[in-house]
Structure formats: structure tokens, C-alpha cells
Amino acid sequence: MTDYQTIKVERRDRVAIVTLNRPEALNALNLTVMQETVAATTELDRDPSVGAIVITGSAKAFAAGADIKEMAPKSYMDVYLDDWFAAWDRLAQLRTPTIAAVSGYALGGGCELAMICDILIASDTAKFGQPEIKLGVIPGIGGSQRLTRAVGKAKAMDLCLTGRNMDAAEAERAGLVSRVVAADQLLDTAIEVAQTVAGMSLPIAMMAKEAVGRAFETTLAEGIRFERRLFHSTFATDDQKEGMAAFVEKRPATFTHR
């Protein structure tokens, strides 16, 4: 597996774990972290033996945001011409299900990275926020859009305008995270969830992900039409035959991901 400077990539059967690893900067997302995370997840996404990808950080910080020291001297032309942060959009294009396991700070770009993932699991120490306004900027990796879709206008405005943090309990109540667990259980829980997802048929999991994702992009009628067409197409897979046969025969399904 490729050697990276700012992330670690491990495999556990059909699950890949990408760990942000810049402890000296609380995993601040600099150019190298972005390039390495995008390169690693793109490679994992192409590998059919990977059924789910967990993205995590340290106990203290999932990621404390974009790297402020790297950003501070940039001019408008620097960030415009480089289309600064656009590469993170690649993560939203991954077809393999992704799970963010968040402990400690998930601020600014850290919160945005977690929100790009399909399932967001938090430890009871997690703190989410979009504090960019305190730096004289606004969210730049989708925070104003994804947070609003996840938690609604009231909390999104509150967080983006005051820059305050939301703790794990508030994040769960608001619907930003699907589960909160004790800090020492976080990675095991995320891997367990990832193993459950990875045990399903990969093409069917991709379709489920695509269908849910569509809800954020389209009208209800079009979304339902899209879902129905995908549902029909599941009947073209071996795994639909296997999944239903296994139910009828009262045995566990063995999916071949075809």
C-alpha cells in the first residue's frame, strides 16, 4: 500500500480505514492531507474488494479545520485560480459507502469532511462547528449547504453566524450524526458498522447510497422515479437472486458483489 505523510491507510477484510495523521496541527487539512486523502480514497473506491471506507482522526481531533497557517497569506487570485478546496468534492463522488468516525474537534473543514461521508458516528467527546466567520471567511467545503440540509436552517444559521460549537448530544438531537458512542468504543463501532455495510452486496450498497444522495439533489417525484428505476435494476443482479433465495431457504446470504 502507498506510503503517505499525513494519513494512514489500513485494511480489515473488506473495510478500509483512513486515519488523518497530523497530530501536531490537530489534523488541520492542508494541501497534502487533501491530496493524500483524495488519492487514497479514490484508489480504494476503484478496488471491488473494499466494501466500506472509514475516515477517522485522533481522540483529540477528527480535524480542526482547513490549515489556517497555510491559508492565511493567500490572495484572492491564489485561491480562485487553484480552485482552493475543490478537490475535496472528489470525496462526495466516491461510490463506496464512507463512514466518518469523529472524536474531539470536527471544526470548519473537519466538520465539512465528516458531513461529506455517508454515515457519521461520533464519540461523546465530539465537537462540531463552522467557526470560519471568526476568521473572516465562510465555510468553503460545503458546510453552509450540507449542514443546512442535515440540521435545518435554525441550527445552521446559529452555527455559521456565531461560530459556536455543538457537542455530540446536540449533534445527535439535531440529526447531524446517526450514533453517539463512548470515546473508547468509537473506532470499533465504526468498523463494525463498516463491516455490516461491506457484508452487503457492493453494487446494491452503491445504489442505495446513490438513491439516498439523490434526495438532496432533486424533487420528491423525480427522486422517487429515480429510486424506482434503480430498484428495478437490482433485479438484474446475481445478489438480488441470492439475497431472496437465502431468505426463502432460511440461510445467510453469500453475496458475490455481481
What is the CA angle 53-180-162, rounded to 5? 100
Identity of the residue, 97 or 109, whose beta carbon is nearer to ligand CO8 in the bound complex:
109
Query: Is 136 tagged catalytic?
Result: no
The distance of closest approach from Cβ of residue 19 to ligand CO8 in the complex, given in angstroms and rounded to an integer, is 17
DSSP-assigned letters across all residues of 188-257: HHHHHHHHHHHTS-HHHHHHHHHHHHHTTTS-HHHHHHHHHHHHHHHTTSHHHHHHHHHHHTTS------
Shortest separation between residue 203's beta carbon and ligand CO8, angstroms: 35
Q: How far is the CB of 177 from ligand CO8 (least distance, A)?
A: 18
Q: Which of 100, 13, 15 has its CA nearest to residue 63?
A: 100
Residue 66 falls in the annotated catalytic set: yes
132 is catalytic: yes
Whichever of 64 and 176 has its CB closer to ligand CO8, that residue is 64
Cα dihedral 133, 138, 141, 147 sign? positive
| Torsion from C-alpha of 185, 110, 117, 226, nearest 10 degrees | 150
Torsion of CA 67, 69, 72, 73, to 10 degrees: -120
| Catalytic option among 16, 28, 63, 66 | 66
Q: Show the CA angle centred on residue 234, arms to residues 41 and 216, nearest 5°.
A: 55
Helix extents (H) in 152-185: 153-162, 168-174
Residue 112 annotated as catalytic: yes
Q: Which residues bind ligand CO8 (CB under 6 A)?
A: 25-26, 28, 64-69, 79, 84-85, 105, 107-109, 131-132, 135, 137, 139-140
Of the pair 126, 193, the CB lying nearest ligand CO8 is at 126
Provide the minimum distance between the beta carbon of 42 and ligand CO8 in the complex, in angstroms, as a whole number: 22
Q: Of 61, 100, 106, 132, which is the active-site residue?
A: 132
Identity of the residue, 131 or 203, whose beta carbon is nearer to ligand CO8 in the bound complex: 131
Angstrom distance (rounded) from CA 126 to CA 142: 20
User: Which residue out of 109, 110, 142, 143 is catalytically annotated?
Assistant: 109
CB of 135 to ligand CO8, least distance (A): 6
Name the catalytic one among 16, 61, 112, 172: 112
Residue number, 69 or 251, with CB nearest to ligand CO8 = 69
Cβ neighbours of residue 155 closer than 8 Å, sequence gap 6 or more: 147, 166, 174
Residues noted as catalytic: 66, 109, 112, 132
